[in-house]
Chain A
């Protein structure tokens, strides 16, 4: 096996968290290497360059790796899960295929046991992360509006995206009901920012931004990290983390772009491979020293998977709205976010108000649920749907349950022969009640907005791609995988910075908090360099 020179820090994964930690650690002047199994995505390759842009959301830019099936992806057996797994393997990771909705976790999310008697508290608080949220907002370039009574004070560096016709319609309905709403924080440039051009409303942001207004990590943190001396090797797929006789991580074995097996030694290994990829790699790194998988003395590696059930409720109004002529994300409501003892569930959800979808996707989605008929009436009914849709997504807090988990599939393997992950996941009773509450409230909102033909999808389109909780943090090594600053309890030079270390999920899109947490851990590492392995 070929062997490379030793590096000080080896990061596995170049997505949201890997990019942030690489950039932050670069100022130590250590030799830092990142291995990414995917590749760079060129702006010219994004779907919105072509007339077939919507169709490509179902092919090479599908959010499901199983459907996308690029040679850079790995398959995931999610047959035993009501929710399917979304991800992207490439520089930027999941931020390539992402709506750029950028809410933060709330302070109460870190104290669910103390406040609501469920799950576990995090070993850190919102206030520990607050400076890193602020730093990350500046690095990423967040647009939004200060003064929201629904969330702690923050100051987005750019003004919010326009409300448009659709947002105005939602705002009128919410005011009629007396419920909270606010323009969403989004990781989209509303003015030229840090070398990125202002958003020109290409449409649905999810399948990548050809214009570069969306803050995917490949165009935010990575250029700065590379300039500061970090090395990034793409198309390098890590098979396992190796250990030495002291039980420390000694490096990784990976397949290079030619498929050659290479050993990469490292003083410190940092996992940034998301809530599925990270436990997969730890479980695939089982050895005689660590027979149940690396860093798994607690038995919790892969357990407590949280995926954020995300029902969608939609309806159609008579007036023409924005359709896909603006960013999909529009505004949020925190009206039902915090626990209310009068409800039959604990915790809560964010309502995410959508500007929705393009002309092809309107046809595909509405025909698939019988709202758009085939035959003679097709054209007339289609014209009452396209650009007339309101849609509310419900980001429901998913509490940790050990039976929801990632294991290694006994049969399925990726194209390098590395065993693939298997997902077992069910929606909890608490979450199911929360979903029904949210669906009823969303229906009220749509009715207040004058919408008809209301349709609810509980799990049909449930691919939020929020992969959380499978290597959770905590102070007790028997109840957690990493400590309060991301270091594995069992392996003192192995760190995890991605969504797998989340203790609970909150009811928000996770990228803002994932990156703030990665920056926090990077700072903890920098402050403890002299005693890092004690």
Chain B
């Protein structure tokens, strides 16, 4: 099992991470979005740790140290307190953990639709960019050159 541990989180780590994800990004009925521990989203998070696995593990270990026990032993209020305490820390492990949660969350179909985006890759459809108001440039066109001509110095 030691070999496996190098490449994926343990079930204890996953349980802590999942509870943490729910506190980080809770569901919101107003916007019609799930929480980050939603089965589809959390499956995406946990399968896309890649090169961040080590940092995420360090962050989760820090969480366990702050809690003094598995998060599952804590009531919601205390668990949230500990999680926010960890998230307030600076440093690469916590940043990495936040990044993997956000990267998976904001590519979920339901979340993308809720922010007005089609759930698709940019290619091959791309986007439409309005031309904008080019009349604004007229006043700039009327200016004299402001670059220094070294031939005239």
- A residues apposed to B, CB below 8 Å: 46, 48-55, 58-59, 67, 69, 106-108, 110-111, 114-115, 125-127, 145, 147, 149-152, 161-165, 167-168, 171-172, 174-175, 180-183, 199-203, 210-211, 322, 324-326, 334-335, 337-338, 359-360, 363-364, 367-368, 374-376, 378-380, 382-383, 386
Q: Are A48 and B103 in contact (CB under 8 A)?
A: no
Whether A374 touches B99, Cβ cut-off 8 Å, given contacts A107-B147, A202-B123, is no
Q: Are A49 and B123 in contact (CB under 8 A)?
A: yes
Tally B residues with Cβ within 8 Å of A.
Answer: 59
Chain A contacts for B131, CB-based, 8 A: 162-164
Q: Are B126 and A359 in contact (CB under 8 A)?
A: no
Q: Are A338 and B106 in contact (CB under 8 A)?
A: no
Q: Are A379 and B129 in contact (CB under 8 A)?
A: no
Q: Are B50 and A163 in contact (CB under 8 A)?
A: no
How far does the alpha carbon of A50 sit from the alpha carbon of B28 in the complex, in Å?
A: 27
- Chain B 133-144 against A: per-residue CB contact (8 Å), 1 yes, 0 no? 110110111011
Whether A51 touches B146, Cβ cut-off 8 Å, given contacts A182-B140, A325-B128, A364-B103, is no
Q: Are B132 and A162 in contact (CB under 8 A)?
A: yes
Any A CB within 8 A of the CB of B77: no
Q: Are B140 and A50 in contact (CB under 8 A)?
A: no
Any A CB within 8 A of the CB of B14: no
Chain A at the B interface: mostly helix, strand, loop or mixed? loop
Q: Are A51 and B31 in contact (CB under 8 A)?
A: no
Q: Smallest distance from the beta carbon of B132 to chain A beta carbons, Å? A: 3
Chain B contacts for A175, CB-based, 8 A: 136, 139-140
Whether A165 touches B132, Cβ cut-off 8 Å, given contacts A55-B103, A363-B102, is yes
Smallest Cβ-Cβ distance to B141: which chain A residue:
A147
Checking B103, B105, B144, B149 against A149 with a beta-carbon cut-off of 8 angstroms, the contacting residue is B144
Q: Smallest distance from the beta carbon of A45 to chain B beta carbons, Å? A: 12
Chain B contacts for A182, CB-based, 8 A: 137, 140
How far does the alpha carbon of A203 sit from the alpha carbon of B15 in the complex, in Å?
A: 36
Q: Smallest distance from the beta carbon of B122 to chain A beta carbons, Å? A: 4
Any A CB within 8 A of the CB of B48: yes
Checking A115, A324, A375, A376 against B153 with a beta-carbon cut-off of 8 angstroms, the contacting residue is A115
Q: Are A52 and B107 in contact (CB under 8 A)?
A: yes
